[in-house]
Amino acid sequence: MNTIAVIGAGTMGNGIAHTFAQSGFTVKLIDVSEKNIEKGMATIATNLDRMVSKGTISEEKRTETIANLITYTDLKDGVTGADLVIEAATENSDLKLKIFSDLNQYCSHNTILATNTSSISITHIASVVAHPERVIGMHFMNPVPIMKLVEIIRGYSTSNEVTKIIMELSTKLDKVPVEVNDYPGFVANRILMPMINESIETLYNGVAGVYEIDTVMKLGMAHPMGPLQLADFIGLDVCLAILNVMYDGFKNPKYAPCPLLVNMVRAKKLGVKSGEGFYDYSESKKAEKVSSQFL
């Protein structure tokens, strides 16, 4: 396996592309937006520069990594000839189904098709593919170049051979792959999102403030980042989408998103990417408490 196509140049897509390129693979980074491509490549370059300055990689490795990256705005051109395609588009079921339906037409039957979805059913995504045994989940953690975990999710029809290939490939990336089965939220988000949601409920009910909730979890539970700050980094819209997938999938009220989360997403207070969420990132790097207008 030499050529990897990554669909989506956003936070996860450019991180996945960076990781494969740094490991010596030829990577075809695909996005419908040239602006997104430019932004994604700039992010990769910045992250590589930071690694060089810290002595993590050499200047030569940085140059090699950039040389391993090729960009495309046309999906068919980008995936042609790829041994593995990893979809890292927005966490939207209809969009992912459309992408995989297109991949079914553009890719050979030997191409492994993976999705970086954090909650959507692999089995559902594979339903639009002629050979669903080659469809698998590769749920990377953010930031991809640093985080070791990759959730490898087997759909109902995913073959043992494909699972073995992807597990071994993840190890070659210096990651730790963990095999899980296809249920809403998988393992990571099935446990994480209810905790984040309960933290938002705790704020919503006036038990404590943003700083206080995060401090309790950091100092009392040894979490490196508080759940509300983590939600800001994930994106509140992404958190809401994952909770909705789990609520729809299990029909269990414990997964129902907190009204405060819903309102903040409606108000486009999405966290770091919008400049404001539970903390204010707009003018200062120092996080500030969210405005009381959202409580």
Q: Is residue 91 annotated as involved in ligand binding?
A: yes
Q: What CA–CA distance (Å, rounded) separates 257 from 110?
A: 40
Q: Is residue 198 annotated as involved in ligand binding?
A: no
Q: Is residue 11 annotated as involved in ligand binding?
A: yes
Q: Is residue 59 annotated as involved in ligand binding?
A: no
Q: What CA–CA distance (Å, rounded) separates 204 from 260?
A: 6
Q: Is residue 167 annotated as involved in ligand binding?
A: no
Is 198 marked active-site?
no
- Tell me which of 116, 151, 170, 274 is the catalytic residue: 151
Is 110 marked active-site?
no
- Tell me which of 118, 170, 197, 199 is the catalytic residue: 118
Query: Checking DSSP bridges between strand 149-154 and strand 135-140, what pairing results, if any?
Result: antiparallel
Q: Is residue 115 annotated as involved in ligand binding?
A: no
Q: Is 1 in contact with 28 (CB distance < 8 Å)?
A: no
Is 33 marked active-site?
no
Is 151 marked active-site?
yes
Q: Is residue 118 annotated as involved in ligand binding?
A: yes
Could you tell me the sign of the dihedral formed by the alpha carbons of 125, 127, 131, 132, in that order? positive
Could you tell me the sign of the dihedral formed by the alpha carbons of 167, 173, 174, 178, in that order? negative
Q: Is residue 10 annotated as involved in ligand binding?
A: yes
The CB-side HSE value for 35 (13 A sphere, CA atoms) comes to 0
Q: What is the three-class DSSP state of 151?
A: strand
Q: Is residue 175 annotated as involved in ligand binding?
A: no
- Tell me which of 47, 87, 119, 139 is the catalytic residue: 139
Q: What CA–CA distance (Å, rounded) separates 145 from 139?
A: 13
Q: Is residue 24 annotated as involved in ligand binding?
A: no
Query: 113: which residues sit within 8 A by CB, 6+ positions away?
Result: 84, 85, 87, 100, 103, 107, 129, 134, 135, 136
Q: What CA–CA distance (Å, rounded) separates 191 from 123?
A: 21
Q: Is residue 273 annotated as involved in ligand binding?
A: yes
Q: What CA–CA distance (Å, rounded) separates 74 from 67?
A: 20
- Tell me which of 189, 197, 199, 274 is the catalytic residue: 189
Active-site positions? 118, 139, 151, 189
Residue numbering of the annotated binding site: 8-13, 31, 91, 96, 118, 142, 273
Residue numbering of the annotated binding site for NAD(+): 8-13, 31, 91, 96, 118, 142, 273
